[in-house]
């Protein structure tokens, strides 16, 4: 169902979502589908993608499954070409794929570091660069939304590779925005704070989780739907004058006391 304001209408957008089958990516996929966007959905597991596409089509939406492993440049290039063909062009990339490994920095292995940074930063760069090349070749312009984190702006312990990667993604997004403006390509960042998902839900009722919530000014952990307005803003023409922006949705996390 299109938004009431034409600026927020994404029914004509052709959107590729990475990491579409779980967590925030799954929530974003359903949100974009409800608002009428034509979707290409990517993740590594084709079976989960096919089930999600069938669900969206069953509800009257338009979606295509494109298996992409963002750790592989070859997979990214092939997947982008497939998504471009199936959608008839990519107008928006929701660059969401990401992982985290939680452990102290002194216990991190090289392989774990490479896996997290490779997915969250290198993989995001490969997707953004590849999508931008397609947009330039088609001379259509476009819109890239990189999903970072408030932890790319303010660190916390136990996730050193994740915080480093998200901080890098934020700065990369600003550089891409500066370089790609002349191609009519916008690059912005959505930086969520702590958001409750099925995977982390038990943590938020634990002693450690409650301690984190107590330091958030709003005294609540975010819900996926709290990100809906910001995502629709960035994915639509409502943000047509925005590029290089970082939209933070964090319940006041960044303005809390140390």
Render 130-152 in DSSP notation, one character per residue.
HHHHHHHHHT--EEEEEE--GGG
DSSP state of 222: B
Q: Write out the two tokens for 9.
A: 């209408």
Main-chain phi, psi angles of 62, to 5 degrees? -120, 120
Show the 3-state SS of 62-107. Answer: EEEEEECCCCCHHHHHHHHHHHHHHHCCCCEEEECCCCCCCCCHHH
Task: Give the dihedral sign, CA 230/237/178/187.
Answer: positive
Q: Identify which of 207, 183, 184, 204 has the alpha carbon closest to the alpha carbon of residue 194.
A: 204
Q: Which of 162, 177, 224, 233 is catalytic?
A: 162
194 is catalytic: no
Positions marked catalytic = 162
């Amino acid at each position: 169902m299109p938004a009431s304001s034409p600026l927020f209408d994404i029914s004509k957008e052709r959107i590729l979502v990475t990491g579409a089958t779980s967590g925030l990516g799954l929530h974003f996929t359903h949100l974009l589908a409800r608002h009428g966007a034509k979707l290409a959905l990517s993740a590594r597991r084709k079976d989960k993608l096919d089930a999600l596409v069938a669900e969206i089509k069953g509800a009257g939406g338009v979606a295509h499954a494109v298996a992409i492993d963002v750790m592989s440049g070859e997979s990214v290039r092939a997947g982008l070409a497939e998504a471009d063909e199936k959608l008839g062009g990519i107008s928006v990339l929701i660059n969401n794929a990401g992982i985290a490994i939680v452990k102290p920095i002194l216990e991190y292995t090289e392989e774990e570091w490479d896996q997290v940074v490779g997915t969250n930063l290198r993989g995001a760069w490969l997707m953004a660069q590849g999508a931008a090349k397609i947009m330039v070749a088609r001379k259509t312009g476009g819109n890239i939304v990189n999903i970072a984190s408030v932890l790319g702006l303010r660190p916390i312990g136990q996730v050193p590779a994740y915080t480093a990667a998200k901080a890098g993604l934020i700065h990369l997004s600003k550089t891409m925005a500066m370089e790609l403006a002349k191609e009519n390509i916008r690059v912005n960042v959505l930086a969520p704070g702590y958001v409750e998902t099925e995977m982390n839900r038990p943590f938020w009722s634990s002693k450690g989780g409650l301690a984190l919530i107590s330091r958030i000014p709003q005294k609540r952990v975010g819900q996926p739907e709290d990100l809906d307005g910001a995502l629709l803003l960035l994915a639509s023409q409502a943000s047509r004058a925005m590029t290089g922006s970082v939209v933070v949705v964090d319940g006041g996390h960044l303005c809390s006391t140390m």
